[in-house]
Amino acid sequence: MRALAPRPPSASARRGYTKIKQLGKGAFGVVHLVTPTSPSNATDAKRKLVMKEISLRGLSPKEQQATRNEVAVLRKIEHPHVIRYHDSFIEAGTLCICMEHASGGDLDQMIQGHIQKKSRVAEAEIWRLLAQMTSALEYCHHAVHLLHRDLKPANILLNERGEVKLADFGVSKMLAMSQQLAKTQCGTPLYMSPELCAGKEYGLSSDVWALGCVVYELMALSPPWLDQCGPRGFPGGISGLMKAVASSRISLAKVTPHYSSELCELLGSLLSKDPADRPALTAVLQMPVIQRELPRPAETAGAAAEAPTETPTGAGAG
| Catalytic center residues | 150
CA distance 132 to 137: 9
Give Cβ neighbours of residue 55 (< 8 Å, ≥ 6 apart): 28, 29, 93, 94, 95
Element at 144 (helix H, strand E): none
Torsion of CA 175, 180, 185, 190, to 10 degrees: 100
Nearest to 147 by CA among 159, 138, 135, 157: 138
Do 307 and 255 touch, CB atoms closer than 8 A? no
State which H helix or E strand residue 22 sits in.
strand 17-26
The beta-carbon contacts of 299-305 under 8 Å, at least 24 apart in sequence, are: 300/80, 303/80
Amino acid letter, 77: I
> Phi and psi for 8 in degrees, rounded to 5?
-65, 155
Handedness of CA 154, 26, 225, 201 (dihedral sign): positive
